[in-house]
């Protein structure tokens, strides 16, 4: 009896609590909207002020609006007659305004000068409105559209449905109530909660009043017991669609685990410049940098390549490691003056000299590397030494010097977390060039660094590891001289280009850097499989046979003589060093004309209502020749599936900015884009579009089809590039003179 009564009581309370929470949410929401609105307003007014200030600086005349008609002759009059006879007719002069033509409709868009990759949308963000008549006659369209998104529409608020957040709050507030009435004998304590907060249960009862007062304000610190079953059963009664009591409990457990404030985020290393910097291994110190860096756009967390497309850090980077261990002391207190240090460095130098033997000629004296002493002599490896067994030497090295042999003053030096982390980070790159490391760390001398290095090696015995790494280097980097390789590749490459054109004429796949360590690029390599060249972003060796060798043109690279041009690629500034693609700054663009997309050297375009339909884009200056670069067609990069979904809507609007980039992606300039998006379609165009491979990315260039005069409207044939997206282009007017 009491049980039933109790249950009813709970149910009632759950409902009460639920509506209270809903109410609070509602208020919070409206408050948020208000604050956002006011902040936006202030933002706008700030912008306006800026604009006004800017305008006041400009010495320009305002367009005078005339204001009155005083200067206009009055030719007509307007008479108002009254049906009441006693009122006289009233006449006023009538001045008519000239008709101002309407501007075409323009939907808001965001200007970008680069492609912008966006994720697929899983919910329909808005139900497109196309006028009542469309909705009336074609209601099925909207339904179909919603079906595409699995019935999910943004901002759908379901009546009785409670989401995770409300659920959690509901349970917690109910639990509070429960605890408040905790002195009642009927109270049940849930033991399941022991797992989570068992430690606090004892202290709970004594502090609960204080806790309760606190928890009203700050809900993030709640030391409460696990809620009792009654609560869940009551909720389950009220919301039967949410599952059974057990389901709810499980869900609650999951949610509290996530929301537990005590669990520290595991990946976050403390700030290395901060006071709480810890001594962490190299991988952790560089973790977020390595994870976020995009090698292709040199940015962190770039918006152009999703993280799956970002190549990882290079393992094979012999070229960049051009620092050698010092052969001379960097100063009076250089570690080389210590006993045994010379031998240590000599040993390691031999090791590294094996690795760098091939490079000897190229590497100039590493004076900068070896510290302040400018007159560094090149190391002199003997050929016989390179043949000697490294294992032998390792044994020798074992008894060269040990940390304990060092003077006590060096042993006692305190290394804080940041410094030791930095050492680990730098040690891998600079190996045993302690002078350089000390310069980079800045707070420790090279003697101290040396000492720390010995200590580290002693404790971790990474000596073995570094030795093996060095061996790895050796094995990987045995390669024929550069020049020879290039020649060989050169002869091969033309044929390959031809092949490529033959078998993959219509299907172009998105390039993704391959990452198969230790294996040559064979059929298992994704670049080979998709018919792409390997790029500098790939992990394969730089003389991989699938790499594009670049061009060696002396001319402007705008004819088919240029292999880059032939392969529909822009010249790679790191590969093509003859044509001037690698020249930047003042002497840039002297010769190579095949780098304009990557450098963004577009023409000045102007927007005006089109002669054909809607808006049009006009060119400001003359274009002298054919095949001149006009602009890049930028927009959002979306997947083909997403393009299909969006295209349905655009199809209805009779206005599409979709542009097939390759088999995987589509450029959509509807939301983000640049001015060339306003170029209209024509069957007799003055421009054409070409998808080019630009440093590993496919990008769409718009080029001139013939000389274009200043002030001409630009057209290109949509059908060329969008073989089947043509159906989206609703309006195609013939522009032939009648």
Partner 1 sequence: MPRPKKTEKSKKEEIVLDLRQDREEFLRAFEKPTQIYRFLRARHIISPTYLHRSLFYLKNRCSRTNARREAFRVDDMLKVCEHKNASYGFTTPRYFDQLKIAILGFYIDPGVHYANSLSKKLNTVDAEISIQKTLRCRRKDCEIVHTEEVVGAVEVPVNPRNPDNYEEEPIIISTTDIKQSKDGQSIKNYSLMFRVYEPQDDSSESEDESSDNLQSDEEMDVDEDDEQKNKKLKDDPAAISLRNLTMGSRRKRVFRQESKECESDDSRSCKNETRAPRKFKKFNNQRFESAIYDADLSVFTSEKKSLLLDGEYELSLNRKCPESNDGRRNATWEALDGGREIKVLSTMNHCPILKFKLLWMEDDKPGPLAPPPDEDKATSFGEEPDSKRARRRINQKCNDTEKASENGNCNAENGPVLPVDSIQYRKLWPPCDTERSENGQLEANSIYDPRQIVYYQFIYNTESQQQTEARDDLYCPWCQLNCMSLYGLIKHLKTCHPRFNFSYTPQSQGSSVEVSVNECYDGSFCGNPQFIFAQPGMAFSRRGPVRRVQATDTLVYRPRKERGARNLNLNELLEKEENDSSPTSHYSAGHHRLYFHSNSSLPIRPCEFDNDSEEETDPDWLRNHIKKMLDEFTDVNDGEKPIMKLWNLYIMKHRCIADGQMSNSCQHFIDLYASLIIRHNLRRNLLLHLVTLLDFGVLKASALLSLIKHFDKIAEKTSKVTSKDEITNGSDILSEDIRSNDLSMEDVDDVSLPSVSKQSRSRSRTVSICSEKSTNLQKLQEIIDQATKTKKDTK
Residue closest to 486 by CA, chosen among 445, 542, 554: 542
- Nearer Cβ to partner 1 (178/674): 674
Alpha-carbon distance of 297 to 570, in angstroms, equals 16
Residue closest to 656 by CA, chosen among 667, 50, 665, 225: 667
Residue 314 interacts with partner 1 (CB under 8 A): yes or no: yes
Helix (H) or strand (E) holding 692: strand 687-694
State in angstroms the smallest separation of the CB of 305 from partner 1: 13
Residue 613's region, left for phi above 0, alpha for psi from -120 to 50, else beta, is: beta
Residue 275 interacts with partner 1 (CB under 8 A): yes or no: yes
Residue 95 interacts with partner 1 (CB under 8 A): yes or no: no
State in angstroms the smallest separation of the CB of 351 from partner 1: 17
Contact window for partner 1 (CB under 8 A) among 27-35, 126-134, 310-318, 344-352: 310-318
Name residues whose C-beta falls within 8 Å of residue 163's C-beta, 6 or more positions apart in sequence.
none
State in angstroms the smallest separation of the CB of 357 from partner 1: 18
Residues 599-618, interacting with partner 1 (CB under 8 A):
599-600, 602, 604-609, 611, 618
State in angstroms the smallest separation of the CB of 551 from partner 1: 15
Residue 268 interacts with partner 1 (CB under 8 A): yes or no: yes
State in angstroms the smallest separation of the CB of 711 from partner 1: 4
Whether 407 and 421 have beta carbons less than 8 Å apart is answered as no
Map tokens 């610190």 to a residue: 221
Name residues whose C-beta falls within 8 Å of residue 361's C-beta, 6 or more positions apart in sequence.
none
Residue closest to 635 by CA, chosen among 663, 611, 665: 665
Number of H helices, E strands in the chain: 24, 16
Residue 657 interacts with partner 1 (CB under 8 A): yes or no: no
Map tokens 């002693």 to a residue: 458
Establish how many alpha carbons lie within 13 A of residue 330's alpha carbon, considering only the half-sphere containing its beta carbon: 21
State in angstroms the smallest separation of the CB of 233 from partner 1: 36
Residue 569 interacts with partner 1 (CB under 8 A): yes or no: no
Residue 289 interacts with partner 1 (CB under 8 A): yes or no: yes
Could you tell me the two tokens for 339? 């006993």
State in angstroms the smallest separation of the CB of 378 from partner 1: 15
State in angstroms the smallest separation of the CB of 441 from partner 1: 8
Alpha-carbon distance of 651 to 724, in angstroms, equals 12
Alpha-carbon distance of 414 to 416, in angstroms, equals 6
Residues 416-455, interacting with partner 1 (CB under 8 A):
418, 422, 425-426, 429-430, 436, 439-440, 442
State in angstroms the smallest separation of the CB of 314 from partner 1: 4
- DSSP line for 110-135: EE-SS-EE-PPPSSB-------HHHH
Residues 72-91, interacting with partner 1 (CB under 8 A):
73, 75
- Nearer Cβ to partner 1 (104/151): 104
**Alpha-carbon distances, residue 318 vs 358, 372, 541 (angstroms):** 11, 25, 11
Residues 231-260, interacting with partner 1 (CB under 8 A):
none
Alpha-carbon distance of 83 to 94, in angstroms, equals 22
Query: Which of 227, 326, 549, 573 touches partner 1 (CB under 8 A)?
Result: 573
- Nearer Cβ to partner 1 (97/202): 97
Residue 319 interacts with partner 1 (CB under 8 A): yes or no: yes
Residues 701-720, interacting with partner 1 (CB under 8 A):
709-713
Could you tell me the two tokens for 78? 């307007």
Contact window for partner 1 (CB under 8 A) among 4-12, 238-246, 286-294, 637-645: 286-294
Residue 737 interacts with partner 1 (CB under 8 A): yes or no: yes
Q: Name the DSSP class of 330.
A: S
Query: Which of 124, 234, 235, 286 touches partner 1 (CB under 8 A)?
Result: 286
Alpha-carbon distance of 474 to 488, in angstroms, equals 23
Contact window for partner 1 (CB under 8 A) among 6-14, 308-316, 336-344, 392-400: 308-316
- Nearer Cβ to partner 1 (230/636): 636
**Alpha-carbon distances, residue 459 vs 18, 116, 226, 453 (angstroms):** 59, 48, 46, 10
State in angstroms the smallest separation of the CB of 392 from partner 1: 29
Helix (H) or strand (E) holding 315: none
Residue 113 interacts with partner 1 (CB under 8 A): yes or no: yes
State in angstroms the smallest separation of the CB of 617 from partner 1: 9
- Nearer Cβ to partner 1 (385/621): 621
- Nearer Cβ to partner 1 (215/686): 686
State in angstroms the smallest separation of the CB of 94 from partner 1: 15
How many CB atoms sit inside 10 A of residue 658's CB? 23
Query: Which of 2, 56, 64, 506 touches partner 1 (CB under 8 A)?
Result: 64
Q: Name the DSSP class of 104.
A: P
Residues 340-399, interacting with partner 1 (CB under 8 A):
366, 368-369
Alpha-carbon distance of 248 to 234, in angstroms, equals 11
Residue 323 interacts with partner 1 (CB under 8 A): yes or no: yes
Number of residues located near partner 1, criterion CB under 8 A: 99
Query: Which of 267, 392, 412, 414 touches partner 1 (CB under 8 A)?
Result: 267
Residue 66 interacts with partner 1 (CB under 8 A): yes or no: yes
Residue closest to 668 by CA, chosen among 615, 715, 722, 731: 722
Map tokens 């004892």 to a residue: 202
- Nearer Cβ to partner 1 (228/286): 286
Residue 112 interacts with partner 1 (CB under 8 A): yes or no: yes
Neighbour-count burial of 472, counting CB atoms closer than 10 A to its CB (0-12 exposed, 13-18 middle, 19+ buried):
middle
State in angstroms the smallest separation of the CB of 632 from partner 1: 10
Establish how many alpha carbons lie within 13 A of residue 148's alpha carbon, considering only the half-sphere containing its beta carbon: 20
Query: Which of 327, 353, 355, 695 touches partner 1 (CB under 8 A)?
Result: 695
- Nearer Cβ to partner 1 (271/723): 271
DSSP reduced 3-state for 383: helix
Alpha-carbon distance of 109 to 125, in angstroms, equals 16
Contact window for partner 1 (CB under 8 A) among 71-79, 390-398, 450-458, 515-523: 71-79
DSSP reduced 3-state for 599: helix
User: Binding marks (x or -) toward partner 1, 517..556, rule CB under 8 A?
Assistant: -------------------x--------------------
């Amino acid at each position: 009896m009491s049980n039933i009564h109790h249950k009813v009581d709970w149910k009632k309370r759950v409902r009460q609590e639920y509506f209270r929470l809903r109410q609070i949410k509602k208020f919070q929401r409206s408050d948020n909207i208000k604050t956002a609105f006011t902040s936006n307003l202030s933002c706008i007014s700030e912008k306006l002020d800026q604009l006004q200030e800017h305008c006041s600086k400009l010495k320009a005349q305002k367009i005078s609006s005339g204001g009155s008609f005083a200067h206009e002759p009055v030719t007509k009059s307007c008479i108002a007659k009254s049906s009441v006879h006693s009122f006289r007719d009233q006449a006023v002069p009538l001045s008519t305004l000239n008709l101002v033509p309407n501007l075409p409709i323009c939907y808001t868009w965001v200007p970008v000068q680069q492609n912008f990759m966006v994720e697929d949308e899983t919910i329909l963000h808005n139900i497109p409105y196309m006028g009542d008549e469309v909705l009336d006659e074609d209601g099925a369209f909207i339904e179909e559209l919603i079906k595409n998104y699995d019935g999910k529409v943004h901002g759908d608020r379901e009546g009785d449905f409670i989401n995770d957040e409300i659920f959690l709050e509901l349970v917690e507030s109910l639990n509070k109530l429960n605890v408040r009435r905790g002195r009642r004998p009927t109270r049940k304590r849930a033991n399941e909660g022991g797992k989570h907060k068992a430690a606090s249960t004892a202290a709970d009862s004594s502090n609960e009043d204080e806790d309760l007062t606190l928890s009203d304000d700050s809900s993030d610190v709640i030391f409460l017991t696990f809620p009792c079953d009654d609560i869940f059963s009551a909720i389950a009664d009220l919301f039967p669609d949410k599952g059974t009591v057990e389901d709810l409990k499980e869900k609650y457990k999951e949610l509290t685990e996530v929301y537990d404030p005590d669990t520290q985020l595991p990946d976050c290393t403390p700030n290395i410049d901060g006071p709480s910097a810890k001594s962490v291994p190299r991988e952790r110190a560089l973790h977020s940098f390595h994870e976020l860096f995009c090698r292709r756009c040199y940015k962190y967390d770039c918006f152009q390549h999703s993280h799956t497309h970002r190549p990882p850090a290079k393992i094979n980077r012999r070229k960049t490691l051009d620092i050698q261990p010092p052969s001379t002391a960097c100063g009076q207190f250089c570690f080389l003056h210590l006993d045994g240090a010379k031998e240590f460095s000599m040993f390691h130098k031999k090791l590294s000299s094996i690795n760098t033997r091939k490079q000897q000629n190229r590497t100039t004296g590493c004076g900068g590397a070896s510290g302040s002493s400018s007159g560094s002599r090149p190391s002199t490896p003997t050929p016989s030494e390179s043949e000697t067994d490294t294992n032998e030497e390792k044994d020798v090295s074992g008894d060269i010097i040990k940390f304990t042999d060092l003077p006590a003053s060096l042993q006692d030096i305190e290394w804080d977390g940041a410094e030791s982390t930095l050492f680990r980070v730098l040690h891998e790159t600079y190996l045993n060039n302690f002078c350089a490391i000390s310069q980079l760390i800045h707070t420790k001398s090279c003697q101290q660094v040396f000492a720390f290095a010995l200590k580290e090696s002693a404790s971790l015995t990474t000596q073995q590891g570094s030795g093996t790494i060095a061996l790895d280097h050796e094995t990987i980097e045995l390669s024929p001289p550069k020049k020879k390789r290039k020649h060989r590749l050169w002869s091969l490459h033309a044929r390959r280009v031809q092949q490529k054109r033959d078998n993959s004429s219509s299907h172009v796949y998105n390039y993704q850097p391959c990452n198969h360590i230790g294996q040559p690029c064979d059929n298992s390599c994704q670049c080979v499989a998709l018919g792409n060249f390997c790029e500098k972003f790939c992990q394969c060796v730089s003389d991989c046979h699938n790499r594009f060798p670049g061009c060696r043109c002396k001319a402007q690279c705008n004819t088919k003589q240029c292999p880059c041009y032939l392969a529909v690629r822009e010249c790679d500034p790191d590969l093509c060093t003859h044509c001037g693609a690698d020249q930047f700054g003042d002497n840039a663009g002297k010769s190579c004309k095949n780098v304009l997309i990557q450098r963004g050297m577009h023409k000045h375009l102007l927007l005006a209502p089109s002669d054909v339909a809607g808006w049009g884009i006009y060119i400001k200056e003359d274009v002298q020749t054919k095949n001149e670069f006009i602009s890049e067609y930028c927009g959002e990069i979306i997947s083909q599936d997403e393009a299909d979904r969006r295209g349905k809507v655009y199809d209805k609007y009779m206005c599409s900015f979709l542009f097939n980039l390759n088999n995987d992606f589509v450029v959509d300039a509807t939301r983000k884009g640049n001015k060339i998006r306003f170029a209209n379609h024509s069957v007799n165009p003055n421009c054409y579009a070409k998808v080019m491979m630009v440093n590993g990315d496919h990008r769409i260039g718009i080029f001139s089809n013939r000389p274009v005069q200043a002030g001409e409207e630009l057209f290109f044939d949509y059908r060329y590039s969008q073989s089947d997206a043509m159906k989206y282009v609703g309006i195609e007017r013939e522009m032939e003179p009648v």
